[in-house]
Structure 1
Amino acid sequence: MDTLATLLVLADSRLPTGGHVHSGGIEEAVTSGLVIDLATLRAYLGRRIRTTGLVAASLAAAVHEGTLTAAAGGTGDSETDARTPAPAARAASRAQGRGLVRLARRVWPDTDWDTLGATPHLAVAAGAVGRASGLTPGQTALSVVYTTMTGSATAGQRLLALDPGDVAALTFALAPLCERTAAEAVKDLADLSDPLLDVLAQRHLDRDRPLFAS
């Protein structure tokens, strides 16, 4: 399988892994008045790339390289838990990881996916998928950073009724930041968190009839 085509498919928002039902905190940010227009959406996405995106990409790259183990209860799992302080964010990560592995079983049936357990973290699943698909660790990291950004961008577009062309242009403008963040992610495990995003993730649980799962 061609690696560039594989990278494009993994970064496609139509990938049936359940990511479309998660906003990455955007729904709560919009409700709280933190994201109100294209400019504030850009600021939010940039922040998410530099924090959540960097951490998840570094974990995925480490799993891909074998520095962290992908097995359930292994170092990939524990290191991701340690870098995801909000229980709500951990639950969202595992829900999306489960969806990615469900798809991976169909695409790469000769790989033993049972070792990852029923609900691996998304970063752990992404690292295992990247290795199975023949991507490089850098490509795996880029896919994770990019989808971390575009998932929230699409949710923001829907919630704020923004012009899809404006949001698409914004994602193009943020592409260099995604590239730099992915390059940083493969160097070492990132060790940081964003208290604001953690608070938004937890507060979302108390919303009455939310549109997104997170």
Structure 2
Amino acid sequence: MSLATLLVLADGRLPAGGHAHSGGLEAQVSAGRVRDLDDVAAFLRGKLATSGLVAAAFAAAACRRPGRWAELDGGLDARTPSPALRKASRAQGRALLRAGRAMWALPPIGREPHQPTALGVLAHAAGLGPEEAAVAAAHGTTTGAASAAVRLLALDPYAVHALLARLAPACDRIAGEAARHADDAVNDLPAAGAPLLDIGAEHHATWEVRLFAS
């Protein structure tokens, strides 16, 4: 394991457009479901256990299986019923590949991939393994939305980062579970859903004024 390389891949300052996305939090704040730090904690735990697990498993599988990225991307489409979320995921995947090409030699992978697929591609190109890809994916599931929470709810950034520290063991657990699926057939990879995120994303896409792209 290269810890330094993993830190580069998981760094929130990576110019991959993550700052433009709230991970579905903006829609939930607007709906009144997330109002304070405790609500953010519950939101992040739920996101980790559902879409976070799926993203981490697919990132791990994409890292393990060079050349099968199109098949994995199809599996992610099937697990993303919201067209708005598919669009957001592919936009983030495109931006991530652009950043990755500046750092490592990437193989051609076809059409614009979903973000977890792109993350697995980068992890493989960087010499990382499925476990590291899963850690980066799980970590990104929490940090992006947590950063958005500071802006959306005017929360104390120190308190938000304390929350992220408390969630670190859960990130490790989800990443470990995800990595164990790295060799599974696409149909057998995790498919945990989060219907409120899907519904919220479709409503969010219709707003004329919003802080975040998703």
TM-score range normalised by the length of the shorter chain: over 0.9
Unaligned runs of 5+ in 2: 182-188
C-alpha displacement of 1:123: 0.8
How far 1:208 sits from its partner (Å)? Answer: 2.4
Name 1:107's counterpart in structure 2.
103
Aligned partner (choices 64, 75, 80) of residue 79 of structure 1: 75
Query: Under a length normalisation based on structure 1, what TM-score does the superposition of the two structures give?
Result: 0.93
Alignment of 1:141-180 (within 5 A): 141-180=134-173
Letter in structure 2 aligned against 1:100:
L
Q: Give CA deviations for 1:18-43 in whole Å, capped at 9, x if unaligned.
A: 11100011111111101100000000
> Shift of the alpha carbon at 1:49?
0.7
Matched residue type, 1:76? L
- Whether the aligned pair in 2 keeps the contact of 1:59 and 1:123 (CA below 8 Å) is yes
The answer to whether the 8 A contact 2:67-2:109 is kept is: no
What is the match of residue 37 of structure 1? 36
Rate the CA distance shift 1:59–1:68 in 2: closer, same or farther, 3 A.
Answer: farther
Deviations 1:21-72 (A, max 9, x none): 00011111111101100000000010011111100110111111118712xx
TM-score (norm 2): 0.93
Question: Which residue type is aligned with residue 139 of structure 1?
Answer: E
Question: 2:88, 2:11 → 1: CA distance?
Answer: 19
- After TM superposition, where is structure 1 displaced by more than 4 Å over at least 4 residues in a row? none
Residue deviations 1:82-123 (CA, integer Å, cap 9, x gap):
1111111110100000001101111113x32x3243x21101
| Corresponding residue for residue 129 of structure 1 | 122
Deviation per residue, 1:156-207 (Å, 9 max, x gap)? 1111000010000000000000000001101222122111111111110122
CA RMSD of aligned residues (A): 1.3
Structure 2 SS opposite 1:24: coil
Q: Which residue of 2 aligns with 1:27?
A: 26
State the identity %. Answer: 48
SS at match of 2:213: coil
Are 1:195 and 2:191 matched, yes or no?
no
SS in 2 for 1:78: helix
Pair 1:180–1:211, CA change in 2 (3 A): same
Distance in 2, Cα, partners of 1:186 & 1:67: 16
CA distance in 1, matches of 2:109, 2:7: 26
Give unmatched runs, 5+ long, in structure 1: none
Following superposition, the deviation at residue 134 of structure 1 comes to 1.1
